[in-house]
Structure 1
Amino acid sequence: MSHSSSHQHDHHAGHAHHHGHFHGASSNYNKAFAWGVALNLGFVVVEVIYGLIADSLALITDAGHNLSDVLGLLLAWGASYLATRSPTSRRTYGFRRGTILASLLSAILLLLALGAIAWEAAHRINQPVRVDGMTVIVVSLIGVVINTATALMFLSGQKHDLNIKGAFLHMAADAGVSFGVAAAGVIIMFTGWLWLDPVISLLIVAIILFGTWGLFRDSLNLAMDTVPSHINPDEVEAFLRSYAGVTDIHDLHIWAMSTTEVALTVHLLIPNQSVDDVFLGELALQLNERFRIGHCTVQVERGDGASCHLAHPGSL
């Protein structure tokens, strides 16, 4: 069985199925992205104005972070749209990889924003500034409502799409951040502890850093064609080796085409069995159902002396 016919059948069996799913996922979140961007952009303006009036670093910090979230949402939205664009003869995968690059850039933006916030907060611990507690409380509680509502719009998709997870993490972190800022405002009103405003800012930075680092690591791994974290490559290899008629495998590669689609290429040695489209279609179906690998290309070899040049140690 030639390489090309294996791939041709799979294109219909596995890839077409997954591509349809992706279209649906993207369009489902268009409304969530639009609302998320509009609400957060409006809130950034409110926070900056009242942060300056109240002279609260925690509020201005949160506004800066919310602005990076708007950029993150726009990135994720743009990438999810590009991922639905059809492939061309030059861009044979289309723009799917854009979703991975968007989640990576989103994480980098967040890390840069956190560094700037931490620097300013450290400076303010040495030189505390009087803060208008009531303004801080009211504005922050508005933030809790807006960010929680936005995060809930992305809740269902964040388990299966790193791009959507980036949007969800930003919003969920913001809801927690706003709640922390409101709590600081209450305590400052009753105690006059001005140092609490920058300390809360640093605590916020630490919490967001924890979530952002995971997003950065996962995005970087996908950008480097690492096997996606939800797939155990040893289990995939064991499954392929135990498949009917297979005596050996080599040149197995598993990588993410986008934040929702996974591809696989492998060479199977099947010396004693005739392989047809039904065999290849069933294999593609099994890989999709067991491991969520939706686009596989299989090369079948007889092992009749014409050894494949890729079958050498270390190619797995």
Structure 2
Amino acid sequence: MTEYKLNGLHCKNCSIILEEKLNKLTSNSAVKIDFENNEMTLDETDVAIEQIKKVLEFEKITMSDMEAEDENTHKSKEANFHQGHHHGIESIMNQETSKKMMFVFSLNLFFSAIEFVFGFLFNSIAIMTDAIHDLGDALSIGLASYFEKISTKEADDQYSFGHQRFSLLGALVTSVILLGGSMVVLFNAVPRLLNPEPVNHEGMFWLSIAAIVANGFSAWLMSRGESNNESLINLHMMEDVLGWVGVLLVSVVLNFTDWYFLDPLLSIAIAGFIVYRTWPLFRETIEIFLDATPKNLSRKNIKEMIISIEGVTNVSHLHVWSIDGKEHAMTVTISTAVEDIDGIESIKKKTRKALSNYAIHHSTIEIVYDPKNILTDD
């Protein structure tokens, strides 16, 4: 039995259909595809390996032996790391994690409502600002969990590329709410800083104690998990704890002084922190929806890589965009003086294999026959 790594599988149902199609080329179901690990196992004593490769090529799936894949693992991770870490909460790993996420979501949503009420009653714009932060955290957890389920749906007639971009909607909605709320806070906090108003510092003190306990418990709950989801939520909760520690310190100072300017000053600091953390997420998500070239990829480098393939004389109409921030797509036109079918197919195969190192698994390659090298750049 020989194991191969597959790049370009997009859904579990697709892998089942592909496995059935490949096994029609064998006599005793010698092909097994593991969608979860993107692996294919072959009993090469009972398969027509060239026919297998031809079917995979038609489906735009590249295969490589496991040893060669191990050498490329670092490159693939490096290509995916920057984008993959910033698009909100990733897929729910198991039922236990899901329960804890929903608990933290409910706690944040409930506490943000309390903050809005008491922030108004205590005349504290700092509490109102942190309420926006908590609301954003609650939305990021709730919406990401909801849209992530949709994003795992397979491609259909309406969404031919699949539903991956639904996972970005939660990040987009959350970032818009956070940025909009922060602008409103800054609009109200700056005049308050110039003309401070008294606040109920005693109420601020007890509410901050309750908030530190609630957010601290949520952070502790998430720190006990091992998934990326729980680690990311834990980071959000620790940020909330630090924000409430600031509110606590301000309330203590106001108990002994009348430095009421500290309340709007803290509000401006929290709002500034929210904008600082949210703006890159918002900008990156918008760029994906606008089909911008992923920042961690270089069209110039990709073009040079394709031109370096034997038989390629020039490249045009090279377009690269991201499906969901982690998986990318590309269209390109290649000119060549190669006239035989096998040579042209070899160019396509080598191109797709090289593109898999850039996490580009959706590729459309058009070949233009140019025997006199008219299209070659001088």
Letter in 2 for 1:137: S
Identical positions, percent: 23
Letter in 2 for 1:142: V
- Report what 1:91 is aligned to: 159
Matched, 1:139 2:205: no
**Distance in 1 separating the partners of 2:190 and 2:131:** 18
| CA-to-aligned-CA distance 1:208-258 (integer Å, 9 cap, x gap) | 111222122111111111011121222111111112321111111110111
Letter in 2 for 1:128: E
- Report what 1:297 is aligned to: 364
Aligned length in residues: 292
- Report which stretch shifted further, 207-216 or 185-194: 185-194
Where structure 1 has 5 or more consecutive residues not aligned to the other structure, the ranges are 159-163
SS of 1:26 mapped into structure 2? coil
SS of 2:60 mapped into structure 1? helix
SS of 2:155 mapped into structure 1? coil
Distance change in 2, residues 1:297/1:225 (3 Å): same
1:143 is displaced (CA, Å) by 5.5
- Report which stretch shifted further, 217-226 or 114-123: 114-123
The answer on whether the counterparts of 2:126 and 2:263 sit within 8 Å (CA) in structure 1 is yes
TM-score normalized by structure 1? 0.75
- Report what 1:161 is aligned to: none
TM-score normalized by structure 2? 0.64
Counterpart pick for 2:105 among 9, 25, 37 = 37
- Report what 1:57 is aligned to: 125
- Report what 2:149 is aligned to: 81
Matched, 1:113 2:178: no
Letter in 2 for 1:110: L
- Report what 1:288 is aligned to: 356
**Distance in 2 separating the partners of 1:282 and 1:157:** 36
- Report what 2:91 is aligned to: 26
- Report which stretch shifted further, 61-70 or 81-90: 61-70
**Distance in 1 separating the partners of 2:348 and 2:253:** 65
Letter in 2 for 1:244: E
Letter in 2 for 1:119: F
Q: Which structure has the greater CA radius of gyration?
A: 2
- Report what 1:243 is aligned to: 309
SS of 1:247 mapped into structure 2? strand
Where structure 2 has 5 or more consecutive residues not aligned to the other structure, the ranges are 1-53, 64-75, 85-89
The answer on whether the counterparts of 1:59 and 1:140 sit within 8 Å (CA) in structure 2 is no
1:304 is displaced (CA, Å) by 4.6
SS of 1:27 mapped into structure 2? coil
The answer on whether the counterparts of 1:253 and 1:265 sit within 8 Å (CA) in structure 2 is yes
**Distance in 1 separating the partners of 2:227 and 2:239:** 13
The answer on whether the counterparts of 2:220 and 2:234 sit within 8 Å (CA) in structure 1 is no
- Report what 1:261 is aligned to: 327
The structure in which a higher percent of residues are strand is 2
**Distance in 1 separating the partners of 2:221 and 2:320:** 33
**Distance in 1 separating the partners of 2:290 and 2:376:** 23
The structure in which a higher percent of residues are helix is 1
Distance change in 2, residues 1:121/1:271 (3 Å): same
- Report what 1:181 is aligned to: 247
**Distance in 1 separating the partners of 2:217 and 2:318:** 46
| CA-to-aligned-CA distance 1:286-312 (integer Å, 9 cap, x gap) | 3222x222322222332258x9xxx89
- Report what 2:22 is aligned to: none
